[in-house]
Structure 1
Amino acid sequence: MKLYSTNNHDLNVDFPTAVFNSMPLDKGLYMPVNVPLLDEEFIQNIHKYGLPEIAFKVAATLLDGAIPLDDLKKIVEDTLSFDAPVVELAENTYVLELFHGPSLAFKDFGARFMSRVMAYFLKDGEQMLDVLVATSGDTGGAVALGFLGVPNTRVTILYPQGKVSEIQELQLCTNGHNIHAIAVDGTFDDCQQLVKQAFADVSLNEKLRLTSANSINIARLIPQTFYYFNAYARLRRAGKTAVVFSVPSGNFGNIAAGLLAYKMGLPVKRFIAATNVNDTVPRYLATGIYETRPSVQTYANAMDVGAPSNWVRIMDLFNQDREALKKLLKSYTYTDAQTLAGIQSIYDQFGYIACPHTAIAALALQDYKKENPQENAAGVFLSTAQACKFPDVFPAELAAKIKIPAVVQELDLKSKKMEKMDTAYSSFRNYLAKFYENA
């Protein structure tokens, strides 16, 4: 497998280089030189396979020999120690539940796969690998659990202080061992910028072996394609052939993976990018003007992104052709008030309790169906996090109905430990400098 930078298609690197470097020095993102098509026989018979089989086929096709097949199969099977069920709520209305992993969020797919790929490529005696990650909520917890105890790795998680839920913060700050947390007095965009500045800092990279666990890392994106193929397979078993996916979208890694799956041959009628008031992409699709803005805090905090990194990957997949992309991608945006009303409406209609991110995806699917009443397609909205992670969002009546998993109850018994930091890059650089000064 060869990859190039979205800023330089002439730059070619192998898969391990892209995984460990995360982001090229030209500040682009790595993309496959060739996006392979899955063979038609597999797509036609995909309903005969389960999630691990589908994931292995997709990974093997995309990685194209970067990891020997026997080893890749073990990585995939170890990653997928949990299911991704498709739950029918009504005729042609389904929810794809992606929160059954250890951190109770869809980020477990990417974080577990990436940590295992990195562990596979790491050699005994090599320089310590410093994994940097910015999180707006769920990424950090998934990465922390994915890398906890992995030899020769050290993880630093940056999150916006006061802008994640209590459970999310506990997942970031109670691990210890090789996991470190930093509460940044700013927004997610500030955290993401600090990480990007560190990767572009040549002198720092001469002393530390830096890589990212954010969705800018191609190893995070690849496994997120798995559950789109698997959802389609399950719908095929139910006699459905036309599918629309509605995806909660913040940094746009999740929907970028869906679009990558589409380019690999997944038959999808439409993708819907559902956002909160951080509406950079909906505005671009409507006007043709791509204008980032400072992120705004909302109840759907994992989507509080004003400058979505993965948008460059999506535009690259479609050769910068906005009109071609608009034929496949529709986008809607919702306020906090609409999100709360959506949570209540979903429960009233289906008896289903959705987290705020999931509710936004459900609202977008609902609005899409209203605009396309004659379309006979299975509508699937992605549920990206367990509702229990956002207890303050729900009215008391609904909150009382949320089942609290044992892993969350155990978090309450742990104490938090984190550094506090401003948004100046010099502060973050000085923090990282301690790693090589004390080596």
Structure 2
Amino acid sequence: MRLYNLKDHSEQVNFETAVKLGLGKKQGLFFPVELPTITPIELPKILEMDFITRSTEILSKFIYREMSKEKLYENVKQAFLFKHPLKIKITEDIHCFELFHGPTLAFKDFGARFMAQMILSLNKEHESVTILTATSGDTGAAVAHAFYKMKNVRVIILYPKGKISELQEKLFCTLGKNIKTVSINGSFDDCQKLVKEAFNDKKLKESIGLNSANSINISRLLAQICYYFEAFSLISEQQRRNLVIAVPCGNFGNLTAGLLSKSLGLPIKSFIACTNANDTVPRFLDNGKWNPKKTVSTISNAMDISQPNNWPRIEELFYRKKWDLKELRFGSVSDTTTKESLNELFELGYISEPHAAIAYRLLRDQLKKNEFGLFLGTAHPAKFKNTIEKILKTKISLPNELKDRIALPLLSHNIDPIFSKLKTFLLEK
């Protein structure tokens, strides 16, 4: 698999190098030179496969030159060693596709665990790696648990202090060992900026073997393609004809993966890019002007991102496939409407959480006659226990993954969003 840097097309690397580097020169994202396809004749056979076999087949379309299908199968099997996604009926024409049944109760488990397997498989013995990543909520836990106690791998996770839920924080800031967590006095965009500055420091990058586990890493992105095929396999022939998928969007990696599944040959009619008040992309799609505003805090905190990293990949894919960006549906939802949507879902017999509720609302409002809609459930509602209980006026029980960590002390450090302070931390710890 060859990949090129979106900011410098002359820089081309193989899959192994892209996984290890994370970002290219000028902080550019890597993107596939070849966009593989699955033919309409192949598709039915692939859809009939079990999740692990199918995921191996999909991923091999991208990386077959660098890893045998047998070795890839073992890596996929180890990465996705948890309960597979579930489809839950909400109404006749709207279902929820739950992606939060992994060890950290969020869709991020798919990408983070596959990336961990790739690092383990591709790394040379005794080669030390420092994983530096930023999280707006769920990435941190998924990455921390995926790499926990992994030999020769040190993980540094930055997150905005006071802007993720208490239970999200408990999931990854209580591990210790090779997992270091740092709360930043600022927003997620400040955290993301620090990560980019670290990657821009060539000497630092080389001295500590710097890598990133954000959705900027191509291995995480490719892994997420797999569950779109799973969703398609779980719906009827009739529902497949006019399928619309609503995706809660933060850094836009999840939507990028969905669009790559369509590029591969999955006949999805349309996607809805769903955001909260941090609506840079919906405004851009509406008026053609890229004008990020200051990030605001919402109850859907994992989507509190004003400068989404993966958007350049989406633009590149539309350009390469000659798709029209005007065909991408979009919308943003306020906290007030999010709360209304949570109550509406509750009345329909389903307990959701804010991110999925936003996707549900926009899907409900935009779904046309004869279309069938899926909205992605990206996190377990118990991760937002206090918020959900207050809105729905009902009690939510904690799953064991959260029960086991709730009483543990936080092990986080705290710094201001100043790169020199982060650099000192990275070199000293």
TM range (shorter): over 0.9
Distance in structure 2 (CA, Å) of the matches to 1:393 and 1:239: 34
Aligned to 2:126: 125
Distance in structure 2 (CA, Å) of the matches to 1:7 and 1:277: 29
Q: 1:411 aligns with which of 405, 409, 414?
A: 405
Distance in structure 1 (CA, Å) of the matches to 2:263 and 2:382: 35
What does 1:13-412 correspond to in 2, within 5 Å?
13-81=13-81, 82-126=83-127, 128-236=128-236, 240-319=240-319, 324-327=324-327, 329-348=328-347, 350-369=348-367, 372=368, 374=369, 376-396=370-390, 398=392, 400-412=394-406
Deviation per residue, 1:214-272 (Å, 9 max, x gap): 00111110011011011011114676432110000011010010011111111110000
- Rate the CA distance shift 1:90–1:46 in 2: closer, same or farther, 3 A: farther
2:123 aligned partner, one-letter code? L
Aligned-pair identity in percent equals 39
Which sections of structure 1, spanning at least 5 residues, go unmatched? Answer: none
Greater shift after overlay, 402-411 or 245-254?
A: 402-411
Greater shift after overlay, 224-233 or 75-84?
A: 75-84
Once the two structures are TM-superposed, the CA of residue 322 in structure 1 deviates from its matched residue by 9.8
1:340 aligned partner, one-letter code? K
Aligned length: 428
Contact 2:145 2:172 in 1 (8 A): no
Q: CA RMSD in A?
A: 1.6
Contact 2:240 2:268 in 1 (8 A): no
Contact 2:247 2:255 in 1 (8 A): yes
Once the two structures are TM-superposed, the CA of residue 377 in structure 1 deviates from its matched residue by 2.1
Deviation per residue, 1:264-323 (Å, 9 max, x gap): 111110000110000000000000011122211100000000000000000011128997
Once the two structures are TM-superposed, the CA of residue 49 in structure 1 deviates from its matched residue by 2.0
Once the two structures are TM-superposed, the CA of residue 398 in structure 1 deviates from its matched residue by 3.6
Aligned to 1:8: 8
Which sections of structure 2, spanning at least 5 residues, go unmatched? Answer: none
SS in 1 for 2:60: helix
Once the two structures are TM-superposed, the CA of residue 54 in structure 1 deviates from its matched residue by 1.7
- Rate the CA distance shift 1:153–1:236 in 2: closer, same or farther, 3 A: same
Distance in structure 1 (CA, Å) of the matches to 2:340 and 2:331: 16
Contact 2:47 2:54 in 1 (8 A): no
Contact 2:239 2:371 in 1 (8 A): no
Contact 2:188 2:305 in 1 (8 A): yes
Contact 2:7 2:29 in 1 (8 A): yes
Deviation per residue, 1:359-402 (Å, 9 max, x gap): 00000101112xx3x3x122000000000001222244846442
Distance in structure 2 (CA, Å) of the matches to 1:346 and 1:32: 39
Once the two structures are TM-superposed, the CA of residue 415 in structure 1 deviates from its matched residue by 1.2
Contact 1:143 1:213 in 2 (8 A): yes
Aligned to 2:428: 434
Once the two structures are TM-superposed, the CA of residue 25 in structure 1 deviates from its matched residue by 2.0
TM-score by length of 1: 0.94
Distance in structure 2 (CA, Å) of the matches to 1:162 and 1:420: 11
Distance in structure 2 (CA, Å) of the matches to 1:433 and 1:215: 24
Contact 2:339 2:391 in 1 (8 A): no
2:355 aligned partner, one-letter code? H
Contact 1:315 1:322 in 2 (8 A): no
Distance in structure 1 (CA, Å) of the matches to 2:393 and 2:254: 27
Once the two structures are TM-superposed, the CA of residue 39 in structure 1 deviates from its matched residue by 3.0
Distance in structure 2 (CA, Å) of the matches to 1:165 and 1:261: 31
Distance in structure 2 (CA, Å) of the matches to 1:395 and 1:54: 38
- Rate the CA distance shift 1:237–1:177 in 2: closer, same or farther, 3 A: farther
Distance in structure 1 (CA, Å) of the matches to 2:403 and 2:376: 25
Contact 2:47 2:229 in 1 (8 A): no
Distance in structure 2 (CA, Å) of the matches to 1:241 and 1:260: 19
SS in 2 for 1:394: helix
Contact 1:391 1:399 in 2 (8 A): no
SS in 2 for 1:73: helix
Contact 1:242 1:269 in 2 (8 A): yes
Distance in structure 2 (CA, Å) of the matches to 1:367 and 1:232: 22
1:336 aligned partner, one-letter code? D
Contact 1:189 1:294 in 2 (8 A): no
Distance in structure 1 (CA, Å) of the matches to 2:419 and 2:135: 17
1:173 aligned partner, one-letter code? C
- Rate the CA distance shift 1:308–1:192 in 2: closer, same or farther, 3 A: same
- Rate the CA distance shift 1:232–1:288 in 2: closer, same or farther, 3 A: same
Aligned to 2:415: 421
Distance in structure 2 (CA, Å) of the matches to 1:243 and 1:77: 28
